[in-house]
Structure 1
Amino acid sequence: MAEKTRWVVDPTHSEIQFKVKHLMITTVTGYFRNYNLEVETEGDDFTKASRIEFTADVDSISTNNEQRDTHLKSADFFNAEEHGQLKFVGRTYEPSGSGYKLTGDLTIRGVTKTVSVNVEQAGIVVDPYGQTKAGFTVEGKVSRKEFGLTWDAVTEAGQVVVSDEIRVHCELQLVKQTS
């Protein structure tokens, strides 16, 4: 059996992004500025991950609009006062098409649902400072209403203000930890 390897996210070379349709005609992009990701693998084989754990601080949400961010943190959406973090715990990471499928439990506002996301594993390299790094692109979709983010508004013309579907896009660089 290969030795256990611990990987942690390099936040200076990673980003957690989400996109939502506004009025069904434009897309608004948001980010989580504070987050953590830890992965434990056998050697460098991510398909043999024994632990994949991601958390994001709801208070760190940013859509480049303070008023909208405050609304997202309120009880209408994430309810940051009672639910300060969202969490994803990976269960399986397996080949799928030309990439991988990561399936696990996502918890938002105290509601946990199983979700799957597509992962492109870009490779493992040693940087100029001797650190081993692994790169990933993660993409998926979630229904905000399934997690209790049910705030809705409709314009006078009957247009939905915020879509139910949230697209998630993450660029992740993990750093191999030496014992």
Structure 2
Amino acid sequence: MATTKWAVDPTHSEIGFKVKHMMFTNVSGKFQQFEAAIETEGDNFENAKISFSGAIDSVTTGNADRDTHLLSPDFFDAAQYPTITFTGDTFKKISEGDYELTGTLGLHGAEKPVTLAVEFGGLAKDPWGNTKAGFTITGKINRKDWGLNWNAALETGGVLVSEEVRLNIELQFVKQ
């Protein structure tokens, strides 16, 4: 069977994350510049080869001061580590429409394995005849596993920024 290549449609995709702030509210952010690709056997995504890279300096949370802090050595250290990467190792079907994606997340000079839940939205043709595939990817990582250790203690106990980062990713791919 022929290999099929899929390219991300960035105008219909979002790489998002949420982190608890002061232990009781979530702050959301996203990467605005990224690339992703998938290689499959035909239109079957099981065992697909998946790759992703994003520009750290494209992170936005809707607050310029917070974004500047995130890019500093306290967090992402964008000057030294300008890219976040992911390479998928396995993409296996769990049940109809549900998959498990395991791969390596490269961030802040470290590479660590992660497992993410994937909901396959299906295939469809857009009005221009392009075949599209949609995916919702979720998971949790501990930012300290990648050396993102900065924090501040709160007077009431607890810390300013949670160690747990929730990933909320919506990806639409175009068959090449």
Supply the RMSD in Å over aligned alpha carbons: 0.9
TM-score by length of 1: 0.96
Which residues in structure 2 correspond to 1:31-110 (within 5 Å)? 31-49=30-48, 51-97=49-95, 99-110=98-109
Unaligned runs of 5+ in 1: none
Q: Residue deviations 1:117-155, cap 9 Å, x none?
A: 000001001111010000000000000000000001012
Give the match for residue 110 of structure 2.
111
Separation of aligned partners in 1, 2:21 and 2:108: 22
What is the CA distance between 1:95 and its match in structure 2? Answer: 1.4
Query: Given residue 74 of structure 1, which amino acid in structure 2 is its aligned partner?
Result: S
How is 1:10-21 mapped onto 2 (pairs within 5 angstroms)? 10-21=9-20
Count of aligned pairs: 175
Which residue in 2 is equivalent to 1:131?
130
Instruction: Please identify, of 9-18 and 149-158, the stretch whose mean Cα deviation from structure 2 is larger.
Output: 149-158
Q: Which runs of 5+ in 2 are unaligned?
A: none
Q: CA deviation at 1:156?
A: 2.1
| Percent of aligned pairs sharing the same letter | 50
Return the TM-score normalized by structure 2. 0.97
- Residue 32 (structure 1) shift: 0.4
Report the alpha carbon displacement of residue 157 of structure 1 after superposing the two structures with TM: 2.3
* AA at the equivalent of 1:3: A
